[in-house]
Amino acid sequence: MQTFVNDKIMSNYGIRVSLFILPVIVAIFAFGATVSGFTMGYDAVANPATFVFFFLFVALTRLFNGMIRDSLENPIFKLLFIPLDNPYRFGIQSKVEGVVNESGRFIGGVLILVFATMAFFKIIFFPIIILFLCFAYFFVTQNLYNGYRNKIRSKLETTDYSQEKLEIGYARVTQRLEDQLHHPDTSRAVFSFKLLEKINPAQVPVWVNSLMNNGSEDAKEYAQRRMNEIKGLSVSERYVIRVNQPDSNSFEKKNVLSKADLESLISGGGDFTKSRIQRLSRSPQSEDRQYAAELLLHSASDENVSFLIELLNDPEPKVRHTAIKTSIQKNNNEVIYALIENLANPLFSNEAMNALVLIGGKALNLLDSSFYRSGQSTQSMLRIIQTMGRIGGQRAKDVLWNKMDFPDKVIVSQVLLSLGECGFKAGISQITRIKFAIESDIADISWNLSAIQEVGTNGYAKALKQALHREIQNDIAHIYMLLAMLYDTRSIQLVKENIESGTTEGTTYAVELLDVFLSEQLKMHVIPVLDDIPEHERINRLEAFYPRVKLDEKLVLKFLLNRDFTQSNRWTKATVLHQIGVLKIADFTLDLIAQLFNPDRLIREVAAWALYQINPQSYHTHSLRIGEAAKKQLDGAILKGGEHMHLMQLEKVMFFQRINVFDDIPGLSLSYLADISEEVTLEQHQSMVVDEKLNNNFYIDYSGTIEFYEKGKFKSTYGEGQFIGELLSSPGFANSNILKAKTRTVMLKINKDQFYELLSDNVKLADRVLDFV
């Protein structure tokens, strides 16, 4: 019964009905025993022919009492302890399950002995007593359940602490990273610092000080460099005032101030003149321009800020990075607009966003006006909305809500995410819109659940089903965020944590919580999605609200391919295209030709590959229409020939899915990782310097074997699928860290800044990578 019946009873009827099953069934058999005893006799000697009916009813009473109590009632009673406060829960539970239960058994045994000594007491009285006990049990259980519900309400209403937005894992990852700052492995400590810098740039000074306390000298040296960058002194030491020793070697590589520079510095009271900053900011030397960006941080004159706008558009990355850091403290409207322009550049997007977040509410109106600028790209709009969400505050919430009716659904989806990021709570006039968004997510879940049953088992169906399951998980996470806009955030957090615990008790308690505070309309939609029930039953319960026509194996692929990007993400569409190519479904030829013009490289490549599998001639004919450069890129990925030969994005994702570093990471996240990875080939015995100062990339060994040398000594060997993380250069060593190919090796190169940005936006991926750096 516990294996096959319990879960069904709990999911369909809940705790209350489950508690009443024992007294009802026992009462039925006790009543049957009473009736049969009085009508057919209860004495084996006096009524030998009919006594068997009385005996059977008594035996069944005993059988079902023991079975239901052990298999259904005891597990349910354990759930009633969950709302109790943690310090007292286990003590109360152990006392009830121990002292109270055993005392009850002892009292029952004593009463049976007492009844046996009474001459007038007949055996027929036992089922009658059981009937009365069942009625008493019914009322006691009703009061117990009411107390359980009241305790849940009081737990939801307590205000021990407030929570503005849902915790999705950043707190745990941040704590783990902070602990790693003191790790003796320098690479791990520096990796943790850089990731913390991306997650919360406002706390960087605190984390730099923590890294300074690391026992490793290399880590301390890196922390000192970062401290200088924060203070705007990273290149300042190269610009000195010469007092004497004109031919000293110590000044060989330093830029010496001229007499005119020194006079202007003294006459300006120590401040930097406009002419000096202008000359440095327009110098052909990138170091001069970087120095100008640092000087602007310490300049007291507002007129010099205009040069910062030029530096924020500098072609040299290190100059622009320094200018972005300076703009946090030295800014005006024009500087903020220049920062917003950098949101569209993948290399500086996250750093510009962090700068705007630190500038705060001052940037909101400028971000809003930039959002509506004519010709603004969708990607820039998305970054602007993300920035508003991170800035937060009531003004940000108002500005974001005004974009809820934007015609682009992708933008609206990001608006909802940003509202969740800044702890938005829906007002009376906004509740209907949020409920509509929740029901839209549930409709997508219902559709995807049915699609999983319809895609079949041929070809690449397993990967496609996995992608659809990930879609459902993303939709559920989105529903949690939307519910937090309607109800108390801490209550939704409690529901989320209990469901994600993966235990039957946790899920049941979470459903009881939802039953307490959700509206009747939402209960019928949300609970089937979150409850732990079989998929076919979930589909049946949702189809009552979201009916859907049954599709065959081919037609469901067509619908998946042509759904909106807010309903099917890029990875799901890529797996659909791959499935079409594997099965060689010629009916989709026109759809594949259309996808050749998709701006997303992942989808374009897989569509071209699928078209080539179905009809190579059609591929060659239609790929000419997309331009010579794009055709060369596709030919290199699909035909695997010529100097442009390279891996498909899909092949990279499938490789990532096979290695331990990215085990159990969603394909969508890995597709973004594939976007920022490039192939690098090392021939046998070829070497490459990977010092942190000289190389701004991580590497993953795709094929072949690499030997790692540190300070001239062999350290370790890297094989297929291994991740090569932060490698700091040691003071006094020109090339501290060298990779040497033992065999011909292909590696995937990943830009560090872009990788850290990807990790900062994906908690699960960050948590996983921390185990392998």
Which DSSP symbol is given to 347? T
Q: Is 173 helix (H, G, I), strand (E, B) or coil?
A: helix
Residue 401 CB neighbour total at 10 angstroms: 16
Element (H, E) at 34: helix 6-40
Looking at the DSSP bridge assignments, the partners of residue 739 are: 688, 708
Candidates 457, 401, 465; CA nearest to 429 is 401
Element (H, E) at 422: none
Task: Indicate the pairing of strand 697-703 with strand 677-682.
Answer: unpaired
Task: Indicate the pairing of strand 239-240 with strand 255-256.
Answer: parallel
pLDDT in tens, 572-614: 999 999 999 999 999 999 999 999 999 999 999 999 999 999 9
d(Cα 453, Cα 447) in Å, to the nearest integer?
10
Candidates 566, 526, 748, 559; CA nearest to 659 is 748
Task: Indicate the pairing of strand 706-710 with strand 713-718.
Answer: antiparallel
Q: What is the pLDDT of residue 367?
A: 93
d(Cα 194, Cα 217) in Å, to the nearest integer?
18
Q: What is the pLDDT of residue 447?
A: 94
Q: Tell me yes or no: is domain 236-418 CATH 1.25.10.
A: yes
- Cβ atoms of 742 and 707 closer than 8 Å: yes
User: Average pLDDT per run of 10 along the chain, which is 773 residues long?
Assistant: 64 75 86 85 74 84 80 73 68 71 80 78 82 87 83 68 67 87 87 86 85 85 81 57 45 49 49 71 84 80 81 88 88 91 86 90 92 87 92 91 88 90 87 92 94 89 93 92 88 87 80 85 90 88 90 91 88 94 92 92 94 93 89 87 79 92 91 93 89 83 90 87 81 76 92 87 85 77
Residue 62 CB neighbour total at 10 angstroms: 12
- Main-chain phi, psi angles of 416, to 5 degrees: -65, -40
Quick one: 85 exposed, middle or buried, by C-beta within 10 A (0-12, 13-18, 19+)?
A: exposed
Candidates 139, 207, 202; CA nearest to 178 is 207
Q: Is 309 helix (H, G, I), strand (E, B) or coil?
A: helix
Apex CA 635: angle with CA 633 and CA 641, to 5°? 115
Non-local (6+) Cβ contacts of 117 within 8 A are: none
- Cβ atoms of 614 and 582 closer than 8 Å: no
Q: What is the pLDDT of residue 90?
A: 64
Strand ranges for 609-735 from DSSP E = 677-682, 687-689, 697-703, 706-710, 713-718, 723-724
Domain 236-418 and domain 649-769 have a common topology:
no
- Cβ atoms of 654 and 578 closer than 8 Å: no
Q: Where are the domains of the chain?
A: 6-157, 170-231, 236-418, 431-638, 649-769
Element (H, E) at 505: helix 504-517
d(Cα 456, Cα 555) in Å, to the nearest integer?
12
Which contacts qualify for 171-174: CB closer than 8 Å, 24 or more apart?
Answer: 172/767, 173/199, 173/763, 173/766, 173/767, 173/770, 174/199, 174/200
Helix and strand element counts for the chain (H, E): 37, 10
Looking at the DSSP bridge assignments, the partners of residue 689 are: 738
Q: Which two tokens stand for residue 681?
A: 């080939």
pLDDT in tens, 473-529: 999 999 999 998 988 888 888 888 888 887 777 888 888 888 888 888 898 899 999
First to last CA, the chain: 48
3-state secondary structure 319-340: HHHHHHHHHCCCCCHHHHHHHH
d(Cα 308, Cα 705) in Å, to the nearest integer?
47
d(Cα 527, Cα 251) in Å, to the nearest integer?
73
Non-local (6+) Cβ contacts of 430 within 8 A are: 401
Query: Structure pTM?
Result: 0.80
Report in angstroms the alpha-carbon separations of 718 from 166, 306, 413, 708, 715.
Answer: 40, 49, 42, 7, 10
Q: What is the pLDDT of residue 163?
A: 60
Non-local (6+) Cβ contacts of 143 within 8 A are: none
Q: What is the pLDDT of residue 170?
A: 79
Domain at 649-769: CATH code:
2.60.120.10
User: Listing from the earlier edge strand, what are the strands of the sheet with 723-724?
Assistant: 677-682, 745-751, 697-703, 723-724
